[in-house]
Amino acid sequence: MVFLRAMVAGAVALGLVAGCGGVAERPADTLYLNGAVITVDAQRTVAEAAAVRDGVIVAVGSADQLQADWQGEQTALVDLNGGALLPGFVDPHSHFFMGTNIVGKVDLQGPPIGSIQSVADVQQALLAEADSRDLAAGEWLMGWGYDENNMVDGVWVDRFNLDEAFPDNPVGLFHVSGHGAILNSAALAAIGISEETPVPAGGVIGRRSDGQLTGWLMETALYAVYPVMFNSSDEAIPGLIRGIQQLYAASGITTAHEGAADMKAMQALQQADAAGDLVMDVIAYPQSHLLDQLAEQYDLAALGSYHGGREAAVELAPGFRLGGCKIVSDGSPQARTALFTAPYLVPGPSGEHDWHGTALMDQQQLNQQFANCYDRDLQVIIHANGDGAIDMAIAGHQAYLAANGEQPGAVDRRTTIIHSQFVRQDQLDSYQRYAMVPALFTQHTFFFADAHIRQRGMEQASFMSPLRRAIDMGLRPTNHTDFMVTPLNQMFLIWTAVNRISREGVVIGEDQRISVMEAIAAQTINGAYQHFEEDRKGSIEVGKLADLVVLDNNPLSVEPMALRDIKVNQTIKAGKVIYTRQ
């Protein structure tokens, strides 16, 4: 496979610098000492020290031995002060480029991240932004991170209460799920949506019982507002990319993921790469329906390597590459648009009864999307939350194998089922048979589990993102934030995997808790494996890139509930510091 060959070649070349018998002829650039070096190697070794030279890890072991062998007059000594050194976090799934669009929009997140808990809170936050900006009549005002599950009185934001605060300005709120928006009357009129607008296939246009629009647009109905919500000027994009990188670096991420790239994102990221603006690796997965257009503009094989394949194999400069393609099969469980085989326990978004959620395409169309990607030798990542959507994803993979006479495992595809929130045991068995990667999402156990219990029941909610079961089966699950759906904070993500406690304090699937070391692996070496990069990153081992994160405490020694209090002190990409906590 194109991308696989490129990554392996780079890893082999890096391996040529590995090893040191006795005192090094040239000292290390940096030694990390006086803390736990959590290597995440195959033996899950915890060492005392690590040495870095020319952006590569050259030694791992005891502090005394490394100082004797690798310390020179110019070697920088980094005192971990009893904290820990980890591999840089490899982001298995988020929306890096989409994150640039939160700049200039009102943060409407609820506790514990923000303070929004009522319609009045939303109105006041929007009005405060309008006042500070001296918003002119007719000018758009946008917010992000709205979650109706935070509304303590059960009253949701809709078109009508937005109109109360903004009768003359179009207002749009991006839903926390990333699968919807809430618009006021002026905004609906601005994008041409009225009571007579037909509902697009795979979409939801919210209505009250009297037929009036609520202002809620979900799934494919959301596309109408994209030109307004995501309209950053070409001139502004480089600065926005630099800004979003700092958010990722502050969380200890050294490899970022753009999990649903459009053509604008692909072009902007390639330009940022060419301009040397990237301080971390960025891997993008364009939406599968864009592949024909993408292939007309780019050499996909070259795009599958960092820097378009221009660099020598040992080039360490951060870069951008095509990872594969993205398919979206269903919606969001908290927004009640994820597809399930059994109905929700509550009505659908517009009061539907016997509601199972929605598929964004039928099985034949999904099968064609798989073929579009696999025929181009591209890895598939497919968004599938509900078990109905996961059935469709597995069937799409099976259909391609059957049509091409391909035996399971004959090609190392690492097809990744993004979210896999409500995967069943028989579906995990299929993942095992087809060597699929479950990209799980345990922050749902905190932010949305209480909603899932009400909507799906405790039994199904308790098995969401079943990391314990996946690990015990020998799968290599990853764990992600899906930023901007939940915060980038990687230590909070670890906390959710280890503790599985909801916002209301309910333990969600105690039997699916995992160890701290396993949680770290899900965000480092397993993430690297998902991206076909496990030979060059994801663990602290000789010959690998010095992609590292320094923590102010040792996650292996603190109480599980204290994991989310650990801070990132420093993030290092290929030996260069890209973030330092002030």
What total number of domains does the chain contain? 3
Give the mean pLDDT of 329-339: 92
Tokens 């870095």 correspond to what residue? 52
pLDDT for 500 equals 98
Exposure string for 460-480, b = 16+ CB within 10 A, e = fewer? bbbbbbbbbbbbeeebbbbbb
pLDDT for 308 equals 78
Q: Is residue 21 part of a domain?
A: no
Q: Report pTM.
A: 0.85
Q: Is residue 304 part of a domain?
A: yes
- Beta bridge mates, 183: 172
Q: Is the pLDDT reported for residue 550 higher than 70?
A: yes
* 414-435: pLDDT as tens digits: 999 999 999 999 999 999 999 9
The answer to whether residues 450 and 351 belong to one domain is yes
Q: Is the pLDDT reported for residue 317 higher than 50?
A: yes
Where does residue 398 rank: exposed (0-12), middle (13-18), buried (19+ CB within 10 A)?
Answer: middle
Task: Please state, in angstroms and rounded to a whole number, the distance separating the CA atoms of residues 394 and 372.
Answer: 16
HSE at residue 473, side-chain half, CA atoms within 13 A, is 22
pLDDT for 310 equals 64
pLDDT cut 70: percent of the chain above it: 94
* CA distances from residue 198 to 184, 192, 209 in whole angstroms, order as listed: 18, 11, 17
**C-alpha dihedral (294, 300, 306, 307), degrees to nearest 10:** -70
Which of 160, 179, 60, 79 lies closest to 569, judged by CA?
A: 79
Q: Is the pLDDT reported for residue 132 higher than 80?
A: yes
The answer to whether residues 185 and 138 belong to one domain is yes
The answer to whether residues 109 and 247 belong to one domain is no
pLDDT for 227 equals 81
* Confidence class for position 231, pLDDT limits 50, 70, 90: low
Give the mean pLDDT of 93-120: 88
* CA distances from residue 511 to 49, 444, 470, 506 in whole angstroms, order as listed: 35, 16, 12, 14
Non-local CB neighbours of 235 within 8 Å, separated by 6+ positions: none
The answer to whether residues 270 and 292 belong to one domain is yes
pLDDT for 3 equals 39
Task: Please state, in angstroms and rounded to a whole number, the distance separating the CA atoms of residues 173 and 191.
Answer: 14
| Cβ contact 252:227 at 8 Å | no
Non-local CB neighbours of 42 within 8 Å, separated by 6+ positions: none
pLDDT for 12 equals 33
Helices and strands in the chain: count of H runs, count of E runs: 20, 25
Out of 229, 256, 284, a domain closes at: 229
The answer to whether residues 439 and 520 belong to one domain is yes
Task: Please state, in angstroms and rounded to a whole number, the distance separating the CA atoms of residues 321 and 308.
Answer: 7
pLDDT for 235 equals 84
Q: Is the pLDDT reported for residue 114 higher than 50?
A: yes
The answer to whether residues 270 and 121 belong to one domain is no
pLDDT for 57 equals 98
Give the mean pLDDT of 283-309: 92
Q: Is the pLDDT reported for residue 10 higher than 70?
A: no
pLDDT for 15 equals 36
* 517-528: pLDDT as tens digits: 999 999 999 999
The answer to whether residues 362 and 267 belong to one domain is no
* Confidence class for position 147, pLDDT limits 50, 70, 90: confident
User: What is the 8-class DSSP label of residue 70?
Assistant: H
* CA distances from residue 122 to 113, 147, 189 in whole angstroms, order as listed: 15, 11, 21
Q: Is residue 219 part of a domain?
A: yes
pLDDT cut 90: percent of the chain above it: 78
Q: Is the pLDDT reported for residue 23 higher than 80?
A: no
Out of 229, 251, 283, a domain closes at: 229
pLDDT for 162 equals 96
Q: Is residue 344 part of a domain?
A: yes
* Confidence class for position 4, pLDDT limits 50, 70, 90: very low
Structure tokens at 260: 């649903």
> What CATH number did the domain enclosing 417 receive?
3.20.20.140
pLDDT for 482 equals 94
**Average pLDDT, whole number, for the chain?**
91
pLDDT for 13 equals 36
Neighbour order of strands in the sheet with 89-90: 89-90, 253-261, 281-286, 320-322
* Confidence class for position 315, pLDDT limits 50, 70, 90: low
Task: Please state, in angstroms and rounded to a whole number, the distance separating the CA atoms of residues 326 and 333.
Answer: 19
The answer to whether residues 336 and 289 belong to one domain is no
* CA distances from residue 83 to 3, 78, 550 in whole angstroms, order as listed: 36, 11, 7
Give the mean pLDDT of 102-122: 87
* Residue with the larger pLDDT of the pair 503 and 458: 458
Q: Is residue 198 part of a domain?
A: yes
Please count the residues of the chain. 582
Tokens 């923590």 correspond to what residue? 551
Residue ranges making up the domain that contains 259: 237-309
pLDDT for 224 equals 87
Which of 538, 553, 573 lies closest to 90, judged by CA?
A: 538
Q: Is the pLDDT reported for residue 1 higher than 60?
A: no
- Beta bridge mates, 253: 89
Structure tokens at 577: 């510091």
Structure tokens at 51: 């040495």
